[in-house]
Chain A
Amino acid sequence: MAYSFPEEVLEHVFSFINSDKDRNAVSLVCKSWYEIERWCRRRIFVGNCYAVSPRIMIRRFPEVRSVELKGKPHFADFNLVPEDWGGYVYPWIAAMSRAYPWLEEIRLKRMVVTDEALELISKSFRNFKVLVLSTCEGFSTDGLAAIASNCKHLRELDLRESEVDDISGHWLSHFPDTCTSLVSLNIACLVSELSCSVLERLVARSPNLRTLRLNRAVPLEKLPNILRRAPQLVELGTGAYSTELRSDIFSNLAEAFSGCKELKGLSGFWDVVPAYLPAIYSVCAGLTSLNLSYATIQCPDLIKLVSQCHNLQRLWVLDYIEDSGLDALAASCKDLQELRVFPSDPFGAGPNVSLTEQGLVSVSEGCPKLQSVLFFCRQMTNAALVTIARNRPNLIRFRLCIIDAQAPDYLTLQPLDTGFGAIVQNCKELRRLSLSGLLTDRVFEYIGSHGKKLEMLSIAFAGDSDLGLHHVLSGCESLRKLEIRDSPFGDKALLANAAKLETMRSLWMSSCSVSFGACKLLGRKLPGLNVEVIDERGPPDLRPESSPVEKLYIYRTVAGPRFDMPGFVWRMNEDQAWRLS
């Protein structure tokens, strides 16, 4: 008989299955499994908030406890998406406030969150525990005050790199004295001064606090007091790391750090005074994660620091680390898995530090577990890339940004096709790739042939013709997100691979050569996609059909058209006459 197991047993079995992919697979086995699974799914991830509507989500999954939503396209981080494009969370919150009274966790990325939304969250979900707002905007510290006041069981408040209208630091006082549940507090993006005594009291009454990331306004002299009240901290983000040089402050600080035996991650270090760096030496041996990407520490001090962090797995740092620092890293940090090197002077006319491709080669040689790289530099060679690829076939994420757009191999003046080709060919598990430098269609040929596990590809100022795009769309079987800017890709490849777009989450193309006519065609032929043209010059039908659109964002959806499009976004899926008249 079909029902060999009672539902409860199946539910219990399913409770061990947490990955979305597996859950989705389970739900396809048969109707009864579909039903059982949907009632017991507790965690939902929506990679594109417009791909599905709150109503559809709620209808299928009535008992959700945790929701994660992402809004704007990734290129919004670089100001390529105009203001008011969309990504509003309020409709979701409103719907969930009625349907999910037991919701515990909300995680948002690149969404517009208002104070009203925050207030609604704080009042609708009695058991609310986790709020993570990553690169969000649209809210102020008043909204945070509402969260602090009303969420009695709040465990996590993490503002990542959101843009907050920072009215004052007073909101922190809204945490009632009865709130003792905090596990993670990340307010590093806030600007206003906070009351240190309020902060200290909050920390003191939160015995479970594991992650604390302070903002720049918290002075260094106050840090020891905070640390003493939270010796169990695992992750710390300091505030400003500078003050007048005084030995008593130093010893206080060093002592406080040595009391934090569990510390595994450090970040912050705004405005560093290098003389105070040795205060953290006592914890270096235990560190697995170090984020110095806002710290203007020069190479010699960086070398001294990283040489002591033998267990480091993740390092985010500015290019002050230079090649010699990366050599030291390669020698000392054999467990390194992720390296991100950010530019200290991205808009300068020339290099201000001695960071070259050689540094990355060293790390690729010395760190056998390196799998994730984000590297900004000013020069690169095919030879270096080939070496990196050979050294590190286990790379999963490789994002290279050569600051001068379209810079060739500086030794041979050749395009960097061969180098990136080696990366995709050798690194068979590569899931994410960002290209830069001078690149022809050939690199896309390599990517199409070898990038079978590639899920996300970022292209800028690359390629010669539609063939490039065609290689990618026809070859990359696992492609989910493709974002392209300023590349000569037009209608041909897109139309020839239109069906591919339904297998992907989204495609972004800006300053390319896709014509208005092609967009209309795509929109009409593929009802499962929203084809949105973003064009600030005015309605696209005032220009010839062959006229390229400024920006194009195509995504698959089951929710149909969105109704919150601003004036500069046009949807191509139906007869536009009524819309534009």
Chain B
Amino acid sequence: MIKRIELSQFSLNKQVWAYRKDKGVGVLLEIVMSPPLLGVGEEADQSNITLLASPASLDRNVCHNILELKEHNYMGLSNCSSVDSSTISTTSGGNNGCLNLKATELRLGLPGSQSPERDSEFSLLCSPNLDEKPLFPLHPSKDGNYLLSRKTVGSGNKRGFSDVMEGFAEGTFLVSSEVNVILSPRPSLNSVLKSVSVKENTGTQPPKTKEVISKNTAQEKPCTGSEIGADRVATANNNSNAPATKAQVVGWPPVRSFRKNTLASSSKNAEEVDGKAGPGAMFIKVSMAGAPYLRKVDLTSYSAYQELSSALEKMFSCFTIGQYGSHGAPGREMLSESKLKDLLHGSEYVLTYEDKEGDWMLVGDVPW
């Protein structure tokens, strides 16, 4: 059941904006008729209903699922206490599993509104009472790990047109009461997924170890549209192991390129004092023949030519879409990755670079 919410003015399309004065947050609601929830309890202090009563313990760094939500914050994600681990019955083991939700398709989506989900007030599921418009759905992939359904990525400022359309095409999603969403807390996916750690106000104990805390905080990562590219590229590399660096979001943290480049070369020269690999970024300008503008690319976020090449393909794909559009490639519809690759492989573009002596070399000749 929904607590009384004071509604304010406006409604956008079929949704209603509400300002929760008790929380001081804006919420987006869409109310539809639906059967009542079973076993609904109410949390003592804050509000939302949770299907499961017991608070999660903080000494796990597994993200706990969320249940249902009446409302969700601007991003289309519910504010809800995260809940009991006992509901994670269907998860596939410890830190690694993510539950595949048949009925719920969640995808990270709306361009421009990519403010990442809140950590402590985070939830992904909706209650059956409300049809909530998922503004930021997360798309579970087949193997149960959450991936972004972004089709085009780039470490620059670009986001694929198809991604925009996906976000809009997404309709309301159903919620099953069993839906448990678990985000992988692995550091490698940090920038892509948002962990849902336990809600602070459910009377849970303070964190047992500092390490847990830092892991939790480390798991809060922005999943922003424009940065998905960088994230994704890094994620692709980091799939199995804890990486030395986080995947990078464009322009975050806000360190000037001059400083980044200097630190990078300092750390190389000085035999890095703290033992870590030099993390700085090396930005280079990349231009494509016929493209109206250059892009800046951070070389340190790639570890092989193949990655660089695919990232560049995606970055510059907007031009190829334009070029091949008239040849029957889908315009407004989403282009699958494989189609893009086909387009680009069919093109005559090769990667070249200018070395120290000013000679133009083919990319790939020299080891990475």
Contacts and interface: CB of A to CB of B under 8 A. Distances in A.
Interface of A: 75, 77-80, 82-84, 135, 161, 163, 189, 242, 270-272, 293-294, 296, 298, 342-353, 376, 378-379, 401, 403-408, 410-415, 438, 440-442, 445, 460-467, 485-488, 490, 492, 510-514, 536-538, 543-544, 547-551, 566-568
Contacts of B114: 486, 511
Given A346-B279, A440-B24, A486-B224, A547 B269 contact: no
A414 B46 CA distance: 13
Interface in B183-223: 187, 190, 197, 200, 206, 213-214, 217-218, 220-222
Contacts of A271: 266, 269-270
A75 B112 contact: no
A486 B24 contact: no
A406 B218 contact: no
B73 interface: yes
A401 B274 contact: no
A537 B322 CA distance: 10
A485 B120 CA distance: 21
B292 A568 contact: yes
A465 B115 contact: no
B220 A406 contact: yes
Interface stretch (B49-57, B138-146, B237-245): B237-245
B220 A404 contact: yes
A342 B115 contact: no
22 contacts: A79-B296, A271-B266, A294-B262, A298-B273, A342-B255, A345-B279, A347-B246, A347-B281, A348-B276, A349-B190, A350-B218, A406-B220, A406-B221, A413-B119, A415-B118, A438-B118, A464-B25, A465-B74, A511-B227, A512-B113, A513-B112, A549-B112
Interface of B: 10, 17, 19, 23-27, 73-75, 110-116, 118-120, 156-161, 164, 168, 187, 190, 197, 200, 206, 213-214, 217-218, 220-222, 224-227, 242-246, 248-260, 262-263, 266-267, 269-270, 273-274, 276, 279-281, 283, 285, 292-296, 318, 322
A298 B161 CA distance: 47
B322 A407 contact: no
User: Which of A406, A487, A511 counts the most chain B CB atoms within 10 A?
Assistant: A511
Contacts of B112: 511-514, 548-550
Contacts of A343: 253, 255
B245 A464 contact: no
B161 A466 contact: no
A452 B273 CA distance: 45
Given A79-B250, A413-B200, A463 B115 contact: yes
A490 B206 CA distance: 36
B251 A538 contact: no
Given A349-B187, A440-B25, A77 B262 contact: no
B14 to A, nearest CB: 13
B283 to A, nearest CB: 7
Contact of B254 (A401, A550, A567): A401
Contacts of B248: 347
A79 B283 contact: yes
A548 B253 contact: no
B276 A461 contact: no
A460 B118 CA distance: 14
A349 B242 contact: yes
B111 A547 contact: yes
Contacts of A442: 24
A465 B113 contact: no
B298 to A, nearest CB: 8
B256 A345 contact: no
Contacts of B221: 404-406
B218 A353 contact: no
Contacts of B159: 537, 550
B164 A547 contact: yes
Contacts of A407: 119, 217, 220
B253 A80 contact: no
Contacts of B220: 404-408, 438
A465 B75 CA distance: 9
Contacts of B269: 271
Given A379-B217, A442-B24, A492-B10, A296 B116 contact: no
A488 B157 contact: no
A405 B249 contact: yes
B316 to A, nearest CB: 10
A78 B252 contact: yes
Contact of A408 (B119, B157, B294): B119
A464 B294 contact: no
Contacts of B27: 465
A86 to B, nearest CB: 12
Nearest to B258: A161
A84 B281 contact: no
A345 B217 contact: no
B25 A550 contact: no
Contacts of B119: 406-408, 413, 438
Nearest to A295: B266
B72 to A, nearest CB: 10
A511 B249 CA distance: 12
* Candidate in A272, A413, A512, A547 with the most chain B CB atoms within 10 angstroms: A413
A83 B220 CA distance: 30
Nearest to A77: B256
A90 to B, nearest CB: 19
Contacts of A537: 158-161, 164, 318
A75 B226 CA distance: 14
B24 A547 contact: no
Contacts of A440: 23-25
B214 A486 contact: no
Contacts of B23: 440
Among the interface residues A83, A343, A465, A514, which one has the most CB atoms of the partner chain B within 10 A? A465
Given A80-B250, A537-B159, A548-B111, A567 B292 contact: yes
A492 B200 CA distance: 31
A485 B112 CA distance: 9
Contact of B116 (A77, A80, A415, A461): A461
A78 B270 CA distance: 25
A465 B26 CA distance: 5
Nearest to A536: B158
A551 B113 contact: no
Contacts of A270: 262, 266
Contacts of B270: 242, 271-272, 296
Contact of A77 (B110, B243, B254, B274): B254
